[in-house]
Amino acid sequence: MFKTMIADVKNLSYSYGNVRALDNIDMDIPEGAIGLLGPNGAGKSTLIRILLGFLPPDKGSGHVLGYDIQNQQKKIRKNVGYMPEDDCFIPGMDAVSFTSYLGELSGMPKQEAMKRAHEVLFYVGLEESRYRQVETYSSGMKQRLKLAQAIVHDPKLVFLDEPTSGLDPSGRKEILELIMDISSKKDIHVLISSHILPDIESTCSHVVILSEGKTAAQGSISELKKIKYNLYEIRTYGDDKGFIKKLEEMGCKVEQVEDKIIKIYMPPDNSHLELFKLAVEQDVQIRHFVKSQTSLEDLFAKAVGAE
């Protein structure tokens, strides 16, 4: 089925000095509510900064809403809202001035920005505190203010970097409900980064799992959840590069545990006999073979580093 994409990246890599934060990422992000799931340090914030055009990729290409991330950054920022992970407030400003100022920075005329600032602060439930200095806000209020500034200029798409971070369970629930409302009623596409699977499952229809700068899995959550992968751990002898490539083409997810030891997540429709056949074709010997079962939850858990 053809789906319209709101963003895509191809062969994207980025390093901070010798720290490789993103390693040859390919991904297609369809319309709707999309989760970017991964443990601390997986590369989520780096990817978002690259999509916004704040960081130039070392290698690879990408588009957001059809605009090129390397030379149409202004157009991207005009049409995309961004809720950063860290506080982005200007000291000494109240919430209304701050929000309208950011609206102006996104290209809105002053009066309109002020009008919209009141509207969005009302929408996120900060109407009574809108003239208070932001420094006096609780963590929950700060998150809601960050969300308000991300939507002040009526973007088509918002990037929300860890929107539930630092919140207690009820604060988390509130912000997730707001995000779902933005996505469904306001017709804004949202990309939410998180390391918490339930947060993504409750808000998103599609997920990209990042692990150590690579995509570990991506697709529709309901489809991914149906898949029960068969997991095989094997030890190979011989040059296994071509063998691994063929396995990936077959739809397997392959994880190199150490040299010559690989884990293969094979879709249920394929048989392990195909694995042996492929090994023969690729001139690789399988010296050791262990079978176990896994599910998408295991894939998620593995990617987010849980037991």
Ligand X SMILES: Nc1ncnc2c1ncn2[C@@H]1O[C@H](COP(=O)(O)OP(=O)(O)OP(=O)(O)O)[C@@H](O)[C@H]1O
Which residues have a Cβ under 8 Å from the Cβ of 114 and sit 6 or more positions away? 96, 100, 103
**Residue 16 binds which entry of ligand X, Mg ion, none, CB below 5-8 Å type-dependent:** ligand X
* Residue 139: CB minimum distance to ligand X, A: 16
For ligand X, the closer CB: 31 or 85: 85
* Residue 216: CB minimum distance to Mg ion, A: 16
* Residue 21: CB minimum distance to Mg ion, A: 10
**Residue 45 is a binding residue for Mg ion (CB under 5 A):** yes
Q: Which positions from 18 through 47 interact with ligand X, judged by CB under 6 A?
A: 19, 21, 38, 40-46
**Residue 57 is a binding residue for ligand X (CB under 6 A):** no
For 195, the token pair is 């390391």
* Residue 199: CB minimum distance to Mg ion, A: 14
Q: Over 44-101, what HEC string results?
A: HHHHHHHHCCCCCCCEEEEEECCEECCCCHHHHHHHEEEECCCCCCCCCCEHHHHHHH
**Residue 83 is a binding residue for ligand X (CB under 6 A):** no
Kindly indicate which of the ranges 29-37, 77-85, 148-156, 265-273 contains the residues binding Mg ion, using the contact rule CB under 5 A: 77-85
The DSSP symbol for 89 reads P
For ligand X, the closer CB: 56 or 268: 56
* CA dist 202 → 35, 227, 234 (Å): 10, 19, 36
Rounded to 5 degrees, φ, ψ at 109 are -60, 150
**How far is the C-alpha of 116 from the C-alpha of 129, rounded, in Å?**
16
- Residue 117 CA from chain centroid, whole number: 27
Q: Which positions from 186 through 215 interact with ligand X, judged by CB under 6 A?
A: 195
* Residues contributing to the site for Mg ion (CB under 5 A): 44-45, 85
* Residues contributing to the site for ligand X (CB under 6 A): 16, 19, 21, 38, 40-46, 85, 195
